[in-house]
A and B are shown apart, each in its own frame.
Chain A
Amino acid sequence: MFDPEYLLAQVPGLLRGLGMTLVVTAISIALAAAIGLVGAAMRIQRVPVLSQLAAAYVELIRNTPILVQLFFLFYGLPAVGMKMSLFWTGVVCLTLWGGAYQIENLRGGLAAVDRGLREAALALNLRPRNFMRYVAVPVALRVSLPSMLNTAISQLKNSSYLQTIGLAELTFVALDRVATDFRALEMFAALGVIYVALVFALSAVAARLETRLNRPYAT
């Protein structure tokens, strides 16, 4: 029933899909972190208008299914003349989704920055911008890192949603084979193993990064 040889024959295709998954995810993780940084800074500095916009954006993304967001980007926007390639629709979707969560993650970290630090920075005549850059963000990053890495891992898992619009990533490749060859068990076993391995690898990287960043505080 389970045919290892069939699975072996599918390895090249799956690897191509895996490559696409990794590329889309990597770009989205980086962009989402950037959105998170800017958005959280706006929220915490209470920049008028932009702060409220960021808050609305976060609420909207967190309270709607990513699948509907994707359909909106892929079917809804082209209907009013905004066309993007398949690849960039995927990147934009994952980035917007992750960005909202990263804003919240970083905001939590920034809120945890000691008040005394802000007062000290003010006393030293640091501009708010420089306070953020040299004091608050480095401290906040350490606090937020675990949750930020969790969001990054979720972005990796959510890249599988992109199969619904036909982007040839890992899940798409596997389901495509299932549709033609009807060997569901093999393909899903492969999918399971690959995703679990990817998530565990990312978690391991996350754990190392955490220890590295906490080294100054280690006893």
Chain B
Amino acid sequence: MALLFDNWVFISKGLVETFKLAGVSLLCATLLAVVLGTVSLLRVPYLGKVIRGAVELFRAVPLIVNIFFFYFVAPTLGMDLSPFASVSLGLSLWGGANGTEIVRGGLTSISAHQWQSARALGLTTWQVFRFIVWPQALKSILPPYAGLLTLMVQGTSLGALVGVGEFLRTGQIIVERTAVMQGESPAFVVYSAVLLTYFVICSCISQLSRHLERRFRAAAWAEAPRPLRME
């Protein structure tokens, strides 16, 4: 407890850094996932294969290797990436690859009839996506996507390995400092607290997603009979 009070400014800084890391990566990953997931449905020659290859590669390689790759290889290629940048880059690409898979799965779950009917009504590809496919697919995309979100928050802990001062790194430093100053390691208490904190954050996200999912389903029901409004 005394540890918590002595270090609380330090700890909150670590937490903020964790949230920053998670926020940036989530934003980039979602952008990648939405664009690549949608594009891979368009049957553009070669592009689909390229996307699939990239997605498979980033999914097959462990996240930690992914992040170390950007941390170690970028400088040899003349790019100067800060630890924060290399972690968010690795995490974004990893999350983007997994997100693309989720989005693609959700979009392909919409039956071909929907496409054919929409086409017959004269909707453009963009309109079909915007008004027909995406609203329906969101229902099957959202739950696994929330799962991915918790995994990405968990992934930010890898920042500790390359020197980003995020939450886990904060815990590590407190352990080291206290061990030196007081002669006994508070590792058990500190890492328990770190575990608990991540648990609370990720459980909240899981709960929120469950709630959203329920709300979403209710909203979809309520809106269903209304005619589509088109700009």
Q: Which residues of A contact B (CB under 8 A)?
A: 59-60, 62-69, 71-72, 75-80, 157-158, 160-161, 163-164, 171, 175, 178, 182, 184-185, 188, 191-192, 195-196, 199-200
Q: State A154–B174 Cα separation when bound (angstroms).
A: 31
List of B residues within 8 angstroms of A191 by Cβ:
61, 65
Residue of A nearest to B153 (CB): A65
Confirm or deny: B127 has a beta carbon within 8 angstroms of a beta carbon on chain A: no
Min Cβ gap A196→B in Å is 4
B62 with A79: CB separation less than 8 A: no
B202 with A63: CB separation less than 8 A: yes
Q: Mark B49-82, 1 if CB is under 8 A from A, else 0.
A: 0000000110011111100110011001100000
| Given A71-B168, A77-B188, 11 other A-B residues pairs in contact with their CB atoms under 8 A | A64-B199, A65-B156, A68-B191, A71-B194, A75-B187, A78-B187, A163-B64, A164-B64, A185-B77, A188-B69, A196-B61
The 8 closest A-B pairs by CB, nearest first: A65-B154, A63-B202, A76-B191, A65-B157, A184-B72, A160-B62, A79-B187, A199-B60
Main secondary structure of the interface of B (DSSP, over half): helix
List of A residues within 8 angstroms of B69 by Cβ:
188, 192
Q: State A187–B171 Cα separation when bound (angstroms).
A: 31
Min Cβ gap A189→B in Å is 9
List of B residues within 8 angstroms of A67 by Cβ:
154, 157-158, 160-161, 168
Residue of A nearest to B76 (CB): A184
Confirm or deny: B206 has a beta carbon within 8 angstroms of a beta carbon on chain A: yes
Min Cβ gap B140→A in Å is 16
Confirm or deny: B136 has a beta carbon within 8 angstroms of a beta carbon on chain A: no
Q: State A85–B160 Cα separation when bound (angstroms).
A: 23
B57 with A196: CB separation less than 8 A: yes
Residue of A nearest to B194 (CB): A68
List of B residues within 8 angstroms of A199 by Cβ:
60
Min Cβ gap A195→B in Å is 5
Residue of A nearest to B157 (CB): A65
A66 with B191: CB separation less than 8 A: no
Min Cβ gap B73→A in Å is 5
A72 with B192: CB separation less than 8 A: yes
Q: State A59–B206 Cα separation when bound (angstroms).
A: 10
List of A residues within 8 angstroms of B187 by Cβ:
75-76, 78-79
List of B residues within 8 angstroms of A175 by Cβ:
68, 72
Residue of B nearest to A71 (CB): B191
A63 with B168: CB separation less than 8 A: no
Once A191-B65, A199-B60 are accepted as A-B contacts, the answer to whether A68 and B150 lie under 8 Å apart by CB is no
Q: State A185–B155 Cα separation when bound (angstroms).
A: 23
